[in-house]
Amino acid sequence: MNALQKNNVENNPQEQKSVVIITGASSGLGRAFAVALDERLPQTAVFWLIARHKDTLEETAATLNRDVRLLPLDLTLPESFTKLNAILEKERPVIRYLVNNAGEGRAGNFENESFDAHKSLCDLNVRAPLLLTSLALPWMEQASRLLFTSSVAAFLPQPGFASYAASKSMILSFARALSEELRPRGIHVAVTCPNPMMTDFFTSEEKEAFQKSYKRLSIEDPDVVVQKTLEAVERGRRLIVTGGWGKAIHIISRLIPISWMTRIIAKLSSRDT
């Protein structure tokens, strides 16, 4: 089904009863989530796809067999949340599934990155999922699902990936706390912690650096990550680690002093540069 042939949901708000919101839906893991959820969820659910670029959102929409609403929003900008809140207030949907997936990576020493780069990472990896969750929760009901994309980097401080790992650690902590807060409402909160994936998440230069680093041994496929994640969510899991490398890191992080591990990671990172 071509994206242009899909029903224009925006022009028929009265028909919209339940929605699924996916951020970072234009490529990579976000697109994989959209495709997999399209196969799993009832056709009555309308997908709201969020990413910066409308053209790549249209490419994702063309792979789906349901009504889709494209929301080309830059989640690093405050006005994007103002627009989204206005849409929610106007249409008053039931949000059945929110996938907080949008994010960006930063490989390299912290002091070598610009102020703007740090701000962008904080805005997209930390600020955006918190604000979007805040906007979405009033429209979620019992049995709604809230999924966050974190990373195995969340389990340990990562010299050479300091700000990225810290941002993912924050998301992991937030999701696990929120899971308990929302338990009485019957809203299932889960967080997935995949290994690195070679998607548009990283720039071409960062991908090249990644392929040369020790982290190349842990690379996962986005489609596999999504299938494992959604199967775990359906089983009621709240913390999901999709790869063997990540599970090992999770265990090691609880057994070996962090000071030892950060020194080892720093040495591995410096060896790869």
pLDDT in tens, 183-211: 999 999 999 999 987 655 555 555 555 55
Q: Residues 70-77: what's their mean pLDDT?
A: 98
**Mean pLDDT, rounded, of the chain:** 87
Compute the residue count for the chain.
Answer: 273
Residue 100 and residue 79: Cα distance in Å, rounded?
18
Q: Residues 233-253: what's their mean pLDDT?
A: 87
Q: Answer yes or no: is pLDDT of 270 > 80.
A: no
Q: What is the pLDDT of residue 198?
A: 65
Q: How confident is the model at residue 213 (pLDDT cuts 50, 70, 90)?
A: low
How far from chain centre, in Å, is Cα 110?
22
Q: Answer yes or no: is pLDDT of 29 > 80.
A: yes
Tokens of 222: 């986005």
C-alpha torsion sign, points 115, 116, 118, 119: positive
CA atoms within 13 A on the CB side of 209: 17
Q: How confident is the model at residue 93 (pLDDT cuts 50, 70, 90)?
A: very high
Q: Residues 224-242: what's their mean pLDDT?
A: 97
Q: Domains in the chain, ordered, with CATH? A: 3-272 (3.40.50.720)
Q: What is the pLDDT of residue 244?
A: 79
pLDDT in tens, 214-225: 455 568 899 999
Residue 51 and residue 71: Cα distance in Å, rounded?
7
How far from chain centre, in Å, is Cα 195?
13
Q: What is the pLDDT of residue 249?
A: 78
- What are 202-207's contacts with CB under 8 Å, separation 24+? 202/105, 202/107, 206/105, 206/106, 206/107, 206/108
Q: How confident is the model at residue 64 (pLDDT cuts 50, 70, 90)?
A: very high
